[in-house]
Structure 1
Amino acid sequence: MNTNTYVNDAIAHWHHVAPLLQPARTEEEYDTLVEALDTVLDAGGANESHPMARLADYLGELVAEWEARDSMPEGATPLEVLRFLMVQHKLKQVDLPEIGSQGVVSEVLHGKRTLNLRQARALAERFGVPEQVFL
C-alpha cells in the first residue's frame, strides 16, 4: 500500500479515529479513551510485538494524563496543593478572594508569602480538604 492510500484511508475514517488521538477534556471523553484502551489491549495491543501495541501505549498515556489531573502528588507543598487545586477547578488568581487582594495572591503563588491560618481555613472549606494541606 502506498502513502497516498494510507492517507486517504485515514481521511475517510478520521471522524472515528480523531477522538482517540487527543487528550480527554471531559469525563465522557476519558471514558471513551478507557474503553478504547481496553479494546485495543484485548485485540493484542498488550503484546509489544503486536501492531496495536503503539496505539495501546499512546492511549495509555492519554488515560494516565487525565488521571494525573485528579491526583495530588504525595508530599506536596502547600503551594503545590494550591496550584493543583487551581488547575483542577480552572481558577485564576482573581478567583481566590479567600487569600486576599490580587497582590497577596500573587505573592503566595510566587512563593514570596506563605498562607496564614485564616487563609488556610478558608481555602480548606472552599475545596473540602483538611486545612493542614495549606500549612
Structure 2
Amino acid sequence: MTSATLAKKLKPLESPVDNELLRWLYLHLPPRPIKGRKMHHGYSEAVRILMRESGGLDAQNRTAVGQYLSAVIPFIEAYEKKAFPIGLATPEEVLGFLMEQHELSQYDLAKELGGQPVVSQILRGKRRLTREHIERLSKRFGVAPATFYPASTTI
C-alpha cells in the first residue's frame, strides 16, 4: 500500500487542528515515545516553558497548550519511569542527581562542603553529609533538609 492510498483511507477520520500554536507544536514537537536523554531534556524543557508561559496566553491558546501537554506528558512519564526507577535513594545519590540536574561539578560545591576532596568522598560514600552540609545544600538547591537524610525502610 502506498502512502497516498493510506492517506486517502485516513482522510475521513481527519480532525483538523484549528489552532496555530497547537499545529506548530504538533509539527515541531510531535507527541511520541521518548528514546533518549537528549530527547527527554528537549520535551521536558518544552513542557516547563509551556507551563510557565501559558498564563499569559488567551483562552484559546491556553486550551491548545493543555491539549498538547495532555498528549506529551504521558510519554515523558513513561520514559522517566523506565530511565529513573523510583527507589530509596541515599543522600549521596540525591546529591549526585541534583548536581547533574544543575550541571554542577564537584568544584562548584567545594566551598560549601569543605573542598573538592570532601565532595568526592561524600559522592563515593566514604564520608557522610554533616548537618551543616545538609543545611547549605538544602538552601542551594531549594529543597527541604530531609531530602539529604537517609530514608528509613520502616514505616
Measured against the shorter chain, the TM-score band is 0.5 to 0.7
Q: Give the letter aligned to residue 94 of structure 1.
A: Y
Q: Give the letter aligned to residue 126 of structure 1.
A: R
Q: Report the CA distance between 1:23 and its aligned residue.
A: 2.5
State the TM-score, normalized to the length of structure 1.
0.54
Q: Deviations over 1:5-27 (max 9, x none)?
A: xxxxxxxxxxx656335324265
Mapped contact 1:24–1:66 kept (Cα < 8 A):
no
Q: Deviations over 1:44-100 (max 9, x none)?
A: xxxxxxxxxxxx8xx73334446999x9x5643211221221122222211113112
Query: How far apart in 1 are the matches of 2:79 and 2:91?
Result: 22
Match in the other structure for 2:136: 122
Change (3 A) 1:82 1:27: same
Mapped contact 2:138–2:144 kept (Cα < 8 A):
yes
| Number of residue-to-residue matches in the alignment | 107
- RMSD value, Cα: 4.1
Does residue 77 (structure 1) correspond to residue 90 (structure 2)? The answer is yes
Identical-residue share of aligned pairs (%): 35
Unaligned runs of 5+ in 1: 4-15, 40-55
Match in the other structure for 2:76: 62
Unaligned runs of 5+ in 2: 4-25, 33-38, 51-63, 150-155
Q: Deviations over 1:25-45 (max 9, x none)?
A: 265523599844745xxxxxx
Does residue 106 (structure 1) correspond to residue 116 (structure 2)? The answer is no
Query: How far apart in 2 are the matches of 1:62 and 1:34?
Result: 15
Between 1 and 2, higher relative CO (CA 8 Å, sep ≥ 6) is seen in: 2
Match in the other structure for 1:94: 107
Q: Report the CA distance between 1:106 and its aligned residue.
A: 0.8
Query: How far apart in 1 are the matches of 2:102 and 2:126?
Result: 23
